[in-house]
A and B are shown apart, each in its own frame.
Chain A
Amino acid sequence: MNRDCTYHRPSTLAEAVDYLATKGGETTIIAGGTDVMVDLRAGKLERRNLLDVSRLDELRGIRLEGEKLVVGAAVTLAEIHRSPLLANHAPALQKCARNFASAQIRNKATIGGNVGHCSPCGDTIPPLVIHQAEMVCTGSSGQRRLPITEVATGAYRCQIARDEIITAFVLEPVGADFADFQKIGRRQALAISRMSMAAMLNQDQEGRITMLRLALGACTPTPCRLRLVEEFLLGKKPQPALLMQAGELLAEQMIAITGRRSSIIYKEPAVQGLFRRILSPVACHD
């Protein structure tokens, strides 16, 4: 089993892009290394030229730019968890960082890596989906933006080209009274999500839903915005009976994508349970 590799750490984004222009085909981009090192140790890493982008200034920082919230690709989960800016403008994203893996991994793992790895279980993805985030990447042919829902073409298959680097995520700041992220794992920490969900919602004075964004994680091969469920609930009061109905619709949507695999025996009721739980604070009881 060959675990040899070469390692490069460019000092600017331009240098990194240059490097990828020639060696992109045999290079793996590494930031926190929490996924790459696992594959390397297991001998499963095919491209063993490592390009470390974790210290590029261009990939760091969390800031408001006009109407948008920008999160650098090399921002760690620990930084996300600590950010007052995100606590205000993207509470679901901030919350997903709280129970993400373990403290040691949160200190190293980056949001760019979590998204770029395209694991169906990536915890940052559902929050980014409800913020209608765009991923920014830079390559030899310049910069481009990609909606977060189009980053993955399948499980562990990323849209970005071999000569491109993820540099940032551009989010619509939360414009809602309610936003949350919840996950189900087999234990309280260091648990890969069995299921996760992010929701953002506004209600009028009577309690009718005026805006709803809902995203499901770990159930479908690629990130999933649940527009049919959103449309079903729009303009209605989220009474328990209605939420139960919406939950059934949600489960149907999920099964339409995944088909009926053996795990569905759990996931079908659990996705409804998680949905009812996440929206229980906004439920109308009149």
Chain B
Amino acid sequence: MTEERYAVIGQSVLRKGAREKVLGAAVFAADIDLGRPLVLLARRSDHSHALIRQIDVAAALAIDGVKGVFTARDIPGVNLLGIINKDQPLLADDKVRSRADAVALVVAESQAVAEQAAEAISIDYQPLPALFEPLEALAEGAPPIHKKGNLLLTRVVRRGDVDSAFAAAASLIEKEYETGFIEHNYLEPDAGIGHVDADGTLVIYASTQNPHYDHKEVVGLLDLPDEKVRIIQAATGGGFGSKLDLNVQGFIGLALHHLGHLGRPVRYIYSREEAYLATSKRHPFRIRMTTACDRSGRLTAMRVRAVCNTGAYGSYGIAVASRAAVHATGPYAIDNVDVEVQCVYTNATYCGAMRGFGAPQMALAHESQIDLHAEELHIDPLAMRTMNALQVGATSSTGQILTASIGYRQCLEAVAPYYRQACDHWLPAPTLPHRRRGVGLGGMWYGIGNTGVQNPSTARIEMAPDGSVTLFTGCADIGQGSTTVLSQIAAEILGLSPEAIRMVVADTKYTTSAGATSASRQTYISGNAVANATRNLANVLLTEAVNRLRAPKNSLLFSGGEIVVASKPEVRVAMATLARRIHDKGGTLSWQGFFDPETVPLDPQTGEGVPYATYAFACHLAEVEVDTLTGEVHVARVVAAHDVGRAINPASVVGQICGGVAMGVGFALMEEFEQGRTESMKDYHIPTAADMPEVVPIIIEAAEPSGPFGAKGVGEPALIPTAPAIVNAISAALNRRIYALPASLERVLAASIDAGHYRRKER
């Protein structure tokens, strides 16, 4: 394949909005000044599971400065939320299913008054038994948390004959793995502010990953016409999946609906404590995985029985279970597969999307299994991965034939020299007597976009008669840099600089839906929608240029705001000239773009289908030092190779990789959200700068033919291999495996004692 040369693609152009963020000038929802706002506060449930007999708001309403108190009966439309399945009321109706549930909404003059009023609301509950473990919730006779029961979904992926393969196996390993609740812990707690504008539209600015979904939900809750609600994404300080749910937006809409006549803006800013209490978590998984391989180390079969805890509501639980099932094999070719993932309701805080959607949990299992087989068969872990790596032409567990852009082997090859060096030189180098070193690998694959469902994106590009260009996209940039990447794609096609593209982003009045900023999908899917719109515009400009320059289309190039004849660069015409002529002739300079990846829904009985149009791949190498006396783990270095198809903005890709490694270190070693106990960052540990290893990011570009300039995605892949690599490194250091995350002080010291390192006679 010949390497095409691009002017803007592959350049680390300055992130749009970077300057404002560095200067503190970026306007987050909590910074927006619309005049004296009324303050919102939800009264959360006092029980994990209870029927509501009665709610008495009289005492709260009597407090000076209270403008309103609303309950479920004040919701004019449908009081049920959820992007995949609708099961979550904005305000609890007849029962509460977790402590996160909002029962009433207070609107007050100040935070202090709102807090006082929220406490003054009297709720008469009839407590029900609360279930926190999925197995309890699935037990016969368990009290149903939802009318339909406690099992939300079972996702199955079956192919081949697992039992026969197991019977013929040279190595058969069955283990159980466990991961816990994880808090997203974005820098900016959820916030939003809204007002009613001059023509009676409810305008809501919010910290969100999906303004068009927010719009649909608020319209439904309030039973309003589409055009009477407008959602605008404010600068957003991270989301990692949690800002895909409707957090403050519905409350703001409800307050405006009832109190808009006061002419006051209303605002809701979650404290860190409320963000911890009331927003989604990562699904805890319990995974029993059995894998078999032949004498040479080739994987032949896999059986998985996994249960994930979605807490009180579905949120993205169905997507998490589905993605976990599809990703169970990891980036390896396994002919015989039998996977079942159950997604179960409990009375825990609801679990939703979080960077990786079940793939990080599953990666812990499949990467541990690979190392276990490698050890049993005396095969090098890197060779074991290389031997089993998916390649072009392979068939996945869902029966999808992989046709292009399968860069896992390239990732392994890129990591190999670091791995050899670590094994040969770093491992044997002297360290303190109570420390042991270990090197570990983690691999992953990740399907870009939503699992086996349509998930289109749209975009519109407009050229004014003066030649200036505006790109309209619904795509929420939550800090990952999509606005910059989309501007680079449009700029490349039109031969402009990205700064020349004016961006109108994530405002439901002016932009059409780009779908969620999730599933690592925006570069690939919205990038393609932008490319589609831009190529439509480019085409009419070329058509006009053909007339003007008397040269065929295929001889023309876009360059520096002009269209030129490639072989005779002095023959050229300014785009502004062409735009004016097209405009004057009544032609259109406004073009809509669309892209929906080609997928086939998964068969409910077999899981057969094409869940994703393309996959990203990665391999991480972790070098760790374990203190055998205390269980402390120091991660010295992570080498992270990522096949992203094409790095449209390499600096952004590197940023995602380093951020993903940081989050992966937390997932591996310290993050643990305990229901009913964890309140804030005082008792939830995420890594600090001092915990960060040296990161060596390596970009692999196995171009995706259907991607914009070959691009796929990297947002979630960046996180996924880190924890398995660290766990494999700890396990190698101690000769004892850790099966549950986090690999905390307690678990690591227990493994060290068990392996005999703790009482080792010191010489």
Q: Which residues of A contact B (CB under 8 A)?
A: 1-3, 38, 102, 184, 186-191, 194, 240-241, 244, 265-266, 269-270, 272-274, 276-277, 280, 283, 285
CB contacts (< 8 Å) of B690 on chain A: these are 187-189
Q: Is the CB of B763 within 8 A of A186?
A: no
CB contacts (< 8 Å) of B759 on chain A: these are 244
Q: Is the CB of B434 within 8 A of A280?
A: yes
CA gap between A77 and B80 in the complex, in Å = 52
Q: Is the CB of B688 within 8 A of A280?
A: no
CA gap between A66 and B112 in the complex, in Å = 54
CB contacts (< 8 Å) of B685 on chain A: these are 186-187, 191
CB contacts (< 8 Å) of B749 on chain A: these are 266, 269-270, 273
B115 at interface, CB cutoff 8 A: yes
B632 at interface, CB cutoff 8 A: yes
CB contacts (< 8 Å) of B682 on chain A: these are 38
B687 at interface, CB cutoff 8 A: yes
Of the A-B pairs whose beta carbons lie under 8 Å apart in the complex, a sample of 9, sorted by A's number, is A187-B670, A187-B688, A188-B688, A189-B688, A273-B434, A273-B631, A277-B627, A280-B434, A280-B762
B753 at interface, CB cutoff 8 A: yes
Q: Which residues of B contact A (CB under 8 A)?
A: 112, 115-116, 433-434, 627-632, 634, 669-670, 682, 685, 687-691, 744-746, 749-750, 753, 758-759, 761-763
Given A189-B688, A270-B745, output 5 extra A-B contacts at Cβ < 8 Å: A188-B688, A189-B689, A269-B753, A276-B434, A280-B433
Q: Is the CB of A184 within 8 A of B632?
A: yes
Residue of A nearest to B759 (CB): A244
Q: Is the CB of A277 within 8 A of B746?
A: no
Given A184-B630, A270-B630, A189 contacting B746 (CB threshold 8 A) = no
Number of A-B contacts (CB under 8 A): 75
- How close is A99's CB to chain B, nearest CB, in angstroms? 8
CA gap between A241 and B760 in the complex, in Å = 10
- How close is A177's CB to chain B, nearest CB, in angstroms? 20
Q: Is the CB of B761 within 8 A of A240?
A: yes
- How close is B682's CB to chain A, nearest CB, in angstroms? 8
Q: A269 touches which one: B115, B634, B758 (CB < 8 A)?
A: B758
CA gap between A184 and B632 in the complex, in Å = 8
CA gap between A159 and B650 in the complex, in Å = 59
> Which among A186, A191, A280 has the greatest number of chain B C-beta atoms within 10 A?
A186
CB contacts (< 8 Å) of B750 on chain A: these are 265-266
CB contacts (< 8 Å) of B632 on chain A: these are 184
CA gap between A162 and B433 in the complex, in Å = 50
CB contacts (< 8 Å) of A266 on chain B: these are 631, 745-746, 749-750
CB contacts (< 8 Å) of A274 on chain B: these are 629-630
CA gap between A189 and B690 in the complex, in Å = 6
Given A1-B115, A186-B744, A269-B749, A102 contacting B434 (CB threshold 8 A) = no
- How close is B119's CB to chain A, nearest CB, in angstroms? 9
- How close is B102's CB to chain A, nearest CB, in angstroms? 18
Q: Is the CB of B688 within 8 A of A102?
A: yes
Q: Is the CB of A1 within 8 A of B112?
A: yes
CB contacts (< 8 Å) of A191 on chain B: these are 685
CA gap between A241 and B763 in the complex, in Å = 10
Given A2-B112, A188-B691, A276 contacting B761 (CB threshold 8 A) = no
Given A184-B745, A265-B746, A285-B763, A273 contacting B630 (CB threshold 8 A) = yes
**9 tightest CB-CB pairs across the interface, nearest first?**
A273-B629, A188-B690, A189-B690, A189-B688, A266-B746, A240-B762, A186-B685, A188-B691, A273-B630
CB contacts (< 8 Å) of A184 on chain B: these are 630-632, 745
CB contacts (< 8 Å) of B627 on chain A: these are 273, 277
- How close is B626's CB to chain A, nearest CB, in angstroms? 12
- How close is B180's CB to chain A, nearest CB, in angstroms? 14
> Which among A194, A240, A273 has the greatest number of chain B C-beta atoms within 10 A?
A273
Q: A277 touches which one: B112, B629, B763 (CB < 8 A)?
A: B629
Q: A283 touches which one: B628, B629, B634, B762 (CB < 8 A)?
A: B762
CA gap between A75 and B525 in the complex, in Å = 57
- How close is A29's CB to chain B, nearest CB, in angstroms? 22
- How close is A26's CB to chain B, nearest CB, in angstroms? 20
CB contacts (< 8 Å) of A190 on chain B: these are 688
CB contacts (< 8 Å) of B758 on chain A: these are 269, 273
CA gap between A286 and B675 in the complex, in Å = 52
Q: Is the CB of A270 within 8 A of B631?
A: yes
CA gap between A277 and B631 in the complex, in Å = 12
CA gap between A159 and B186 in the complex, in Å = 41
CB contacts (< 8 Å) of B762 on chain A: these are 240, 280, 283, 285
- How close is A140's CB to chain B, nearest CB, in angstroms? 35
- How close is A212's CB to chain B, nearest CB, in angstroms? 19
Residue of A nearest to B684 (CB): A186
CA gap between A184 and B629 in the complex, in Å = 11
- How close is A128's CB to chain B, nearest CB, in angstroms? 23
Residue of A nearest to B692 (CB): A188
Q: Is the CB of A189 within 8 A of B691?
A: yes
CB contacts (< 8 Å) of A273 on chain B: these are 434, 627-631, 749, 758
CB contacts (< 8 Å) of B689 on chain A: these are 189
Residue of B nearest to A41 (CB): B271
Residue of B nearest to A276 (CB): B629
Residue of B nearest to A194 (CB): B745
CB contacts (< 8 Å) of A265 on chain B: these are 746, 750
Q: B630 touches which one: A187, A188, A277, A283 (CB < 8 A)?
A: A277
CA gap between A266 and B631 in the complex, in Å = 9
CB contacts (< 8 Å) of A194 on chain B: these are 745
CB contacts (< 8 Å) of B670 on chain A: these are 186-187
CA gap between A66 and B542 in the complex, in Å = 90
Residue of A nearest to B683 (CB): A192
CB contacts (< 8 Å) of B634 on chain A: these are 188
Given A184-B632, A190-B688, A191-B685, A277 contacting B434 (CB threshold 8 A) = yes
Residue of B nearest to A1 (CB): B115
CB contacts (< 8 Å) of B691 on chain A: these are 187-189
